[in-house]
Structure 1
Amino acid sequence: MAQLFVVHPENPQSRLLTQAGQLLAEGGLVAIPTDSSYAVVARLDDKSAAEALRRLRGLDERHHLTLLCRDLAEISHFARVDNRQYRFLKLATPGAYTFILEATKEVPRRVSHPSRKTIGIRVPDHRIALAFIEAAGTPLMSTTLIPEGEDQPLNDAQEIFQRYGHALAAVVDGGPCSLSSTTVIDLTGQSPEVLRRGQGDLAAVGLD
């Protein structure tokens, strides 16, 4: 059964996040709040975690998992970023945007798209999410916590604990999140292409 960690939304207790991060290091999945909705995360170096994330959501291997990074410099370690893409990312991070980019060799094949070799990647604008990535000491694989067969993400930690406590190692309760997913923008073409409108404001990045 999952452990429940109730943390302060503005000043998350590092001790609690470290404890949750240890469960992540032991191979568990952890639900955390973000600036869009709650997400389930796992360590990038966990060989079975990508399959576990997809199984929890009922997703196939063609569905992009998202890599949560601490900053723009970390993005460029895991994705190929040219000058044009870098300028766009600098404008849009941190924020509730997921970017589709070509993955570098640092990204395991089990995580990237099987045919396109791309990865979803973002820097959340959320104190708890960023503090948890820092506590884990590594970027994290993630997927929005949308129950299989439903179309709305969950934003209440207590409900997540009740519904997924058997499948998760921990739930980090930082209070309610938005009910919107991230805005997804494909940066692999000649110009940015909006694949999904969500929480991220398109006008703020010059796309609306």
Structure 2
Amino acid sequence: MAEFIKIYEENPNPREIDKVVKILKRGGLIIYPTDTVYGLGCDITNIKALEKVARLKGIKLEKANFSFVCHDLSNLSDYVKQIDTSVFKILKRALPGPYTFILPGSKSLPNPFKKRKTVGIRVPDNNIALDIVKLLGNPIISTSIRDDDEVLEYTTDPELILEKWGNIVDLVIDGGYGDNQASTVIDLSDNMPVVIREGKGDLEIF
């Protein structure tokens, strides 16, 4: 059964964050809170863990549209090609926040994503997620645990998430009730913002 850890978003306990990061470094899968829906994630540098997540989602890893959850914009250049000042200004204005930005992928992407032309970048406005990636030192991948055919509580209530995912993942973080609205997805790979999916993030920001 997965470990179940309560972490408070206002002031995440460094000891608990450390515990989460140790699990990620061992190749573990975690379910964690963001500023939108709860996410399923793993360390972006761990190929075995990435493959496991892809299997759970029923997709090939190379074809998976996982978002990269970053701590801030400083390590963007590791994953994203040089971007325009105008694009950077949009990112700066919107992040941290409930947006996924699709940007042109760089040559130094982790192996499974090497052939990708674009990557989805997330900097969620949630201290738990941000503290995890900060301590880990690199992004985690994120994919939503939401399923449109399901009872909503199973994706918003941490105890019910544990009930459903407890035998599949290594850790479920209880960061309080999650949202049931996904992030707004904006494609900036051609410099002009194109809305791919309208979600929680306000479009007025553009």
Shared fold per TM-score greater than 0.5 = yes
Contiguous gaps of at least 5 residues in structure 1:
none
Query: 1:160 and 2:161 equivalent?
Result: yes
- Deviation track 1:119-161 (CA, whole Å, cap 9, x = no partner) reads 1111111111111112322211111112485596812211111
Distance 1:59 1:150, change over 3 A: farther
Q: 2:113 corresponds to which letter in structure 1?
A: V
Contiguous gaps of at least 5 residues in structure 2:
none
Q: 2:20 corresponds to which letter in structure 1?
A: A
**Contact 2:87–2:191 (CA under 8 A) maintained in structure 1:** no
Residue aligning to 1:35: 35
Q: 1:201 corresponds to which letter in structure 2?
A: D
Counterpart Cα distance in 1 of 2:100 and 2:49 = 20
3-state SS in 1 of match to 2:120: strand
Residue aligning to 1:182: 183
Distance 1:104 1:46, change over 3 A: same
How do 1:53-72 and structure 2 match up within 5 A?
A: 53-60=53-60, 61-72=62-73
**Contact 2:37–2:146 (CA under 8 A) maintained in structure 1:** no
- Deviation track 1:1-32 (CA, whole Å, cap 9, x = no partner) reads 21011112211111011111111111110111
Counterpart Cα distance in 2 of 1:151 and 1:5 = 23
Aligned residue pairs, count? 203
Q: 2:37 corresponds to which letter in structure 1?
A: S
Residue aligning to 2:84: 82
Query: 1:49 and 2:16 equivalent?
Result: no
Residue aligning to 1:143: 143
Q: 1:87 deviation in Å?
A: 1.5
Distance 1:15 1:26, change over 3 A: same
Structure 2 length-normalised TM: 0.90
The root-mean-square deviation of aligned C-alpha atoms, in Å, is 2.0
Counterpart Cα distance in 1 of 2:164 and 2:76 = 32
Counterpart Cα distance in 2 of 1:41 and 1:155 = 16
Q: 1:98 corresponds to which letter in structure 2?
A: T
Counterpart Cα distance in 1 of 2:151 and 2:176 = 21
3-state SS in 1 of match to 2:21: helix
Q: 2:100 corresponds to which letter in structure 1?
A: T
Counterpart Cα distance in 1 of 2:33 and 2:56 = 17
Could you tell me which of 73, 91, 95 is aligned with 2:93?
Answer: 91
Residue aligning to 2:22: 22
Residue aligning to 1:169: 170
Could you tell me which of 99, 102, 107 is aligned with 1:100?
Answer: 102
Q: 1:90 corresponds to which letter in structure 2?
A: K
Sequence identity percentage: 36
**Contact 1:7–1:172 (CA under 8 A) maintained in structure 2:** yes
Q: 1:106 deviation in Å?
A: 2.5
**Contact 1:10–1:127 (CA under 8 A) maintained in structure 2:** yes
